[in-house]
Amino acid sequence: MGLSREHDGAARSLRSRYEALSDRERQIMSLVCAGLMNKQVAAKIGLSEVTVKVHRHNLMKKLDARSFADLVRMADALRIRGGNDSA
């Protein structure tokens, strides 16, 4: 029972951090987790590659993701599907 409560708390915490992201950060998270490179994301949504990198850095910091693999695991836990900017 304790593990379930911890898992629920972690899931709520992750959801709360995700909801604190801007719409653009959510969109970029979805696209990079779908496997697009920063340059491809930039071309797809009409931003510069540097701007995409800044948004990606900010969203990783807000989510407390230490690596890209962490970010992908978080997207999976949030049921974010690649290319779709909503959960």
Domain map of the chain by residue range?
2-77
Q: What architecture is domain 2-77?
A: Orthogonal Bundle (1.10)
User: Residue 6: its pLDDT value, please?
Assistant: 65
User: Residue 39: its pLDDT value, please?
Assistant: 98
Rounded to the nearest integer, the mean pLDDT of the chain is 89
Q: How far, in Å, CA of 81 to CA of 83, rounded?
A: 6
For residues 20-38, give the mean pLDDT: 96
Q: How far, in Å, CA of 12 to CA of 28, rounded?
A: 22
User: Residue 82: its pLDDT value, please?
Assistant: 67
